[in-house]
Structure 1
């Protein structure tokens, strides 16, 4: 390894010269093949290369862990080999068996530098046999638009819904850009898995103005390669009414969308919120919004509070992962919020702040487990 001379500075120049000659000598000797060499055996050439891994010899108490397997999908700059992992309750990897779910959905494709993906959804059965491969039916100014990795779900109708980022033209003069500009339009689409037929498509550009969102255009939007991602869809959920709940990272808002017309029924959070947000209920850069039990008038949740409280207040509960936190909580956190439709307000029921108060680089989730535990990732 070469070192800068400034890091080896001495009052006399001779040690530096000797060190340089020593390094050159070692480089020249690296071409030699040693056999039963006394210097090597004495360790004069230094230790062999090795790598150590930090582990924790800790196994949680089984009685406090929710039953079932734990699925994770690590990725990021510090993840050398991204991919899905399955653990049992002892923390051991599970590769050959799968219990509880008849199919697994994964995404395969290209991750682009803008934090989005272009690829296909793969469906595997309980024997890890691939039984379906599908993507979106979209064509933009650069050709076919494929499914993004942020979200894919199987609906009660056995259809599939997924996110996509679609390059399209938009007049950006109102935002300091060109009249013929380009955006990464956030789209979600529902298809028939068997036939590939498109059942429903929703475009952010047709429903939400960039003025609602908080990702500035800057110098982008002039070419398809610098298309402006002003909305950034990152999760989809549905309810028994056939409507959709989607999350916009850059608009700091959730949108409840009519499943027939595509119209926005209400907004939660962000610039034009339909609700008054209570103390601690604000969020930014959120991810993974999910309904809990829901009907027209109230919702219940299997956790430590009495469900009758929420029936009386006519609250709908959902969970959301707040990727950035708020001003007085400088960390990512899991949230449980209550929506009161009588006075159109949202209140914080409970939040989950990591022990190291860290900020997630992107993404994350919070899930209620069958035994009442909360799993935050």
Structure 2
């Protein structure tokens, strides 16, 4: 790679774990700035993967933080794979080697085993404890009491077998549990109780709710989008399948979604964008769609759930088709394209697609957006380049646009903008990098007047002494503090100091002789840059700006230009030309997108050693700085034909599994008329370079202009369900407890909204009841203080006719007038109650809904949680069968 490393790598001395903290002690101080991502580590606890949530480096210790703590007796191993970026290294820059399944000393103190959870599937119940259990324990089946209840049926189930497996106790049941039963477990330690491996006795358990896992999965049989007439269907892709959970359709105001469920759903609950529905029919309609709506549909039944999302897209969104082989990484793909809308205006779309071409996230801009991409090693995860203005240029120049890098957080909110420092006018859109330390790496063009009097023109005359050219600039800046930051320049690199102009006469000479078009920042801070105008790639010292090595043909033979030039060997086509997207792989090899155009020409004859416009390809070379050679390894042209050519753009994004994700740019066949736009083609493909197999392809077409994309992969969980809240808050419950009436809604309210007393009308037994103070808004709840407290059995109703209440959406939705509605006897939120599962089960069966003639009604007001607790503890589920009169 052109830079020296220490002779020996750091040595791992000890690995230890205590609770959720795992430490790795090395034999020397480690670089605190080289913190690998969590994915570089694999921690196994009793052979099962334990999630890593953080990595820190301090002195000679690397700390790996686990999502959940390990228990005292659990066996723990840790593995480390050296990542491409941010690898562990010592303070001298020597990387630590990877290692596999190193045992970690477990220093976690012992504790008694505690029941963490229980589940039952048919005739087998599994109890999971907080620590490893003594497999020599022999509790009797009679130590366990299992009860199951459904409407009209209450039964005890005998335990016929007890076995141990690590922290788990497996109980065999005399009869299986059905999906419509509620199951409770009690355990009383007998003569041979459940113990930890150090002899600690597990405590008794009373009426622990058991998760029933025999509930049927909740799937849709069909999902249809129709126009407002509820009849005319609209196109949706992909074709509906219950196992596919994301879809796209062109939504317009008033469209509806019809859900057709796969089975009777008397216990199924539906949530649409946070609004809940129950008691569903087999067919359910959802209205009110708009072009800005992403509709999130969640079906839940006895602990099982399925979520479907319909993503609404505008009518000018590109038509997308995909093909996919097995074994493709489960991830998403970034995109940014330009299209023409119905008014023939060019608009720009960017976002993230799944493997079906469904935009999990997208946005539209009337400004040109270029290269929306992830920045996994940076302080923020996403950025794109946006056209922000024009700048004065010399006569005849067409490069007048300047750009700003727009930096986004994980939720795609703009958090910063970056441009080159004010003395450099033209920020270029080809590439942009966010470094781990927060610095920004930008490209730019700087106009200068150069003496080219020693260089020939094709007509045999010489260029003049004062020719306007654009030098290619690489600048590293620190983020500024203003809305449009003017950060401090850390590195300023100018092509004129490092380029042989004789090598750059074939592209946009002399105006844009170097044409820098891609960046890669290596772990040690060095910068790999592609210069299309010269058909060369440079590795640049990130601290000094010196060229470590360069690869590509050169017309110069003097030592000052050849001392760090690598010669291409073994390439059947001689060299690469007019390239994009140069990358160094983990093994040190160079891979790039070879456009096959603007190949370097002889300085005097202007004849190219390789004919241009033959084909485009991805090509890989091994780099040997000792022998000064870049040796051909392999290449790939579209579908192996070497007959398609991309005159501009193009990108290869190497994948962690070794595949190449290739964006083919402005691809056309060689026989096409080059004056016409390229025909519709495969915008991108993923290739296994070991076999040249195409494992994934995506094709975009549009009625108007389609600008090419440069695609990257991002993790499957990169996009949460970003929905536009277009629904007003709806009342969930109204409860009264003595002198306090609470109205709870289905979403958070704006706590700064100020409803007036006069907005509410409260009646007690038909008589208007005055309020004692101003209403207050907290979270989802509006609290009203009654001047005179209500008594048990009073009929309390509340109505609202105001306009102040609203939700917290960016464009707030106003609460509609309602009422009068009944305020029940102090039923409060039970989400955090220790009997939440049981309470929800009772509630869905109408057992704890309130005091009516056929319901249990206490002498004093109680909460729903208190009532359910009473029913469960005192009557042992008999209330579920025969409510007391």
Asked if Structure 1 and Structure 2 have the same fold, meaning a TM-score greater than 0.5 normalized by the shorter chain, the answer is yes
> Where does residue 287 of structure 1 map in the other structure?
580
Q: How does 1:118-133 map to 2 (within 5 A)?
A: 118-133=402-417
Contact 2:553 2:567 in 1 (8 A): no
CA shift digits 1:323-351 (9 cap, x unpaired): 12654992111122111233221122221
The match for 2:352 among 76, 86, 92 is 86
The match for 2:591 among 304, 319, 323 is 319
Aligned partners of 2:374, 2:548: CA distance in 1, in Å? 38
Compute the displacement of 1:260 (Å).
2.6
Q: Does 1:254 align with 2:537?
A: yes
> Where does residue 346 of structure 1 map in the other structure?
630
Contact 1:70 1:87 in 2 (8 A): yes
Contact 1:284 1:323 in 2 (8 A): yes
> Where does residue 332 of structure 2 map in the other structure?
69
Aligned partners of 2:374, 2:441: CA distance in 1, in Å? 24
> Where does residue 146 of structure 1 map in the other structure?
426
Contact 2:374 2:381 in 1 (8 A): no
Contact 2:349 2:362 in 1 (8 A): no
Contact 1:236 1:289 in 2 (8 A): yes
CA separation of 1:70 and 1:183: change in aligned 2, threshold 3 A: same
The match for 1:60 among 321, 324, 327 is 324
> Where does residue 381 of structure 2 map in the other structure?
103
> Where does residue 231 of structure 1 map in the other structure?
514
> Where does residue 241 of structure 1 map in the other structure?
524
> Where does residue 202 of structure 1 map in the other structure?
493
Aligned partners of 2:502, 2:464: CA distance in 1, in Å? 16
Compute the displacement of 1:239 (Å).
2.0
Aligned partners of 2:568, 2:596: CA distance in 1, in Å? 17
Aligned partners of 2:419, 2:339: CA distance in 1, in Å? 24
Aligned partners of 1:262, 1:86: CA distance in 2, in Å? 35
CA separation of 1:370 and 1:178: change in aligned 2, threshold 3 A: same
Aligned partners of 1:212, 1:128: CA distance in 2, in Å? 42
Aligned partners of 1:99, 1:172: CA distance in 2, in Å? 40
Higher CA-based Rg: 2
Q: Does 1:180 align with 2:446?
A: no
The match for 1:212 among 496, 503, 507 is 503
- More strand as a share of residues: 2
CA separation of 1:119 and 1:58: change in aligned 2, threshold 3 A: closer
Compute the displacement of 1:284 (Å).
0.5
CA shift digits 1:74-116 (9 cap, x unpaired): 3599x95444242112221121799995521111116988468
> Where does residue 12 of structure 1 map in the other structure?
none
Question: The residue matched to 1:174 in structure 2 has which SS?
Answer: coil
Compute the displacement of 1:167 (Å).
0.9
Aligned partners of 2:449, 2:385: CA distance in 1, in Å? 27
Contact 1:116 1:149 in 2 (8 A): no
Aligned partners of 1:137, 1:250: CA distance in 2, in Å? 24
Contact 1:65 1:89 in 2 (8 A): no
Question: The residue matched to 1:234 in structure 2 has which SS?
Answer: strand
CA separation of 1:205 and 1:138: change in aligned 2, threshold 3 A: farther
> Where does residue 616 of structure 2 map in the other structure?
332
Which one is further off, 256-265 or 330-339?
A: 256-265
CA shift digits 1:182-204 (9 cap, x unpaired): 11110010011245111101001
Compute the displacement of 1:216 (Å).
7.0
Contact 1:116 1:165 in 2 (8 A): no
Contact 1:334 1:353 in 2 (8 A): yes
Compute the displacement of 1:55 (Å).
6.0
CA separation of 1:94 and 1:183: change in aligned 2, threshold 3 A: same
> Where does residue 690 of structure 2 map in the other structure?
none
> Where does residue 13 of structure 1 map in the other structure?
none
Contact 1:149 1:163 in 2 (8 A): yes
Aligned partners of 2:449, 2:332: CA distance in 1, in Å? 45
> Where does residue 360 of structure 1 map in the other structure?
646
Q: Does 1:268 align with 2:580?
A: no
- More helix as a share of residues: 1
Which one is further off, 362-371 or 122-131?
A: 362-371
Aligned partners of 1:237, 1:337: CA distance in 2, in Å? 16
Aligned partners of 1:53, 1:242: CA distance in 2, in Å? 39
Compute the displacement of 1:171 (Å).
1.8
Contact 2:433 2:521 in 1 (8 A): no
CA shift digits 1:292-319 (9 cap, x unpaired): 22xxxxx2xxxxxxxxxxxxxxxx2121
CA separation of 1:115 and 1:320: change in aligned 2, threshold 3 A: farther
In the superposition, the TM-score normalised over structure 1's length comes to 0.68
In the superposition, the TM-score normalised over structure 2's length comes to 0.31
Contact 2:433 2:442 in 1 (8 A): yes
Aligned partners of 1:191, 1:275: CA distance in 2, in Å? 30
Aligned partners of 1:331, 1:191: CA distance in 2, in Å? 38
Q: Which runs of 5+ in 2 are unaligned?
A: 1-314, 364-372, 391-396, 456-461, 482-486, 557-561, 598-609, 664-885
Q: Which runs of 5+ in 1 are unaligned?
A: 1-50, 222-227, 294-298, 300-315
Length, aligned pairs only: 293
Aligned partners of 2:401, 2:420: CA distance in 1, in Å? 12
